[in-house]
Structure 1
Amino acid sequence: MSAAGDRQGEPLTIAQLAKRAGVSVATVSKVVNGRADVAPATRALVEDLIRRHGYRRQKVAGPAALLELVLHEVRGPYPTEIYRGVQRVAAEHQLAVVVSELGGSHTPERGWVEGVLARRPIGVVSVFSGPTGEQAERLRTRGIPFVLVDPTGEPGHGVPSVGASNWSGGLSATRHLLELGHRRVAVIAGPEHLLAARARLDGYRAALDLAGIPLDPTLVRVGEFHILDGLKHTRDLLRLPEPPTAVFASTDGQALGVYRAAAEAGLRVPEDLSVVGFDDLFPSQWLTPPLTTVRQPLADMAATATAATMAITLAQGMALSRSRVELATELVVRDSTAPFRG
């Protein structure tokens, strides 16, 4: 029977997979459940059979009452807000939340998927990260749906995702500074390989273009989403022959670095330098002065009708009304921006 013909039939049980592979049921069970003690060639053979024929989970081996939350790193307020949103939805469905931390990487390591298969969660919510194509295929063949939150790149076809309107956020942040009369507006962008960072930078460029202001490449700096990057790049910007009078930082963390660099240079915020951040995370409103920033609905991105609910809906065998959801951002004006003094 051809592979195409096999895919038209019913998915195979562990016993049927074992018979086709010429191995024991125990060996196939180990592969299905992510156990490491299987020879690579045998694992590849069983995985190929699962990919081509499908796998029918036995009722006695149903998924655990878990929702897996994958975070690229557990540091700062961002993951806390995401966890709260996922936990709220999980509790409504009598589910526990297990957290995987990727140590700062945006792609899970090679052995990550074995752990997920062993835990057998009903679904996976992956934040600011995403499985490789091979990992995604292994989750799919085991009937474990996954949803991307704030994806780092363009989601693959058919992969559900939830994000924020980063482009609109970058546009509104920059437009706010332009409307205050600033013409030398710098931007500290995030890593170029991240979709959110590129979108925020594109929003900045669009605002300048709409205002008829030429883009000055010396005012565009690219770094990481960290405080030290805000500090380092602002120090460089303030050394320019014509320094900026305003800075759009792509995260609130970068904005903290901007504040520090301004203080080192003897400048006051906002009298000498206006600053806008992005995220509206604690402690932005408690800074001196309170930070003008773009509010990103972080907790909501993983709450009702979004990522966690989408994963649960798929686990229940129901279709999604929308596979890609984009939530609105909002400019929150506080005291870190002021009219250009000339």
Structure 2
Amino acid sequence: MPFDEGTLPVRYLGVPLISTKLVYKDCKILIEKMDKRIIDWRNKSLSFAGRLQLINYVLASLHVYWASVFIVPSRFIKDLEKRMRSFLWCQGPMVKGKAKVAWKDVCLPKYEGGLAIRKIKDVNESLMASHIWTWFDQWHPHCPLADFISQREVAKASFNQNSIVADLILHDRWIWPQAWYDMFPVLIHVQPPDLQQHKLDSLSWLDSSNNQVTFSSKSVWDTFRLRQVQVDWVHLVWFPQSIPRHAFHMWLIFNGKLKTHDKMRHWDVGSATNLNLLVCSLCKTGPDSLEHLFFECSYSEQIWCIIKRKVGMQHLPTKRRDIVDFLQPKATSKNTPNVARILGDWKLSMDLIQQGS
């Protein structure tokens, strides 16, 4: 026959067709694909916000199809996330000290202070959960049945791995072998559910608060992921009218991650550089900090007076807590004056960052 003998793995429906579990060498094609995308973008002038958009909508989606089919190797996960982290902070190879925020915090949802980049391991586990069914899912408090009923016993009873709950019920009674009650006494407490024949099957999931919700990969992911306390400033940073570049820098400000002088003075830069001589580039009176740069500096205070007069905030003192407390209730409003207040404060912050640098 005029056919060449091939070797595994071969590609089938976009993923490798292999006879063993997925290993790192099988995944190199995705790593090479991500490297090619990053190289194409590296020479372009991209802001932090632009890189974040490309990560969320391009790089973070390259592995999703594979992650829905395989349990992907941890080394592969580490390499992909390393490349995403490097592209975000350096637009190329990672340089020590360039990352302003830890990756685990970057991967938090925005309402918990992160940038909503989902960790690959959490995505993989949530997608794998969609393959679970009768023997493996939690449709009863004593489930999953696979914890005590082996696949051998399932096959001996003329059922299979794809059997659904309705296949095991006839006239409101279980039709599994009577011997199972002796072999697995816990089944005595598993009563047949009330099946509604006119309704289609649906999957439910118990979330992290033990509430029953509609099953989806998102609800599973939200249960598996790292959780932190919700932040109160999320709507001041991320809202429909926000300017992405400004929003990213405001996110850094609220996380206290700008490289201001008070932070730099603790660095070990050697004897050739004296960080104690650093002074605010706006007022020249002393080292800057977040509070000084945006609120206490005489230069920024003059700009604040102009901004507050234009957006109707004259009565407020120029203090971060007072301004944030005033804007928070208005953060979700689409009212033009409220949007102008927030955007005005953003514009001031961006101007001061550029002046300070």
Instruction: Give the structure-2-normalised TM-score.
Output: 0.23
Q: Which has the higher contact order (CA 8 A, sep 6+)?
A: 1
> Rg: which structure is higher?
2
Instruction: Give the structure-1-normalised TM-score.
Output: 0.24
**More strand by proportion, 1 or 2?**
1
**More helix by proportion, 1 or 2?**
2
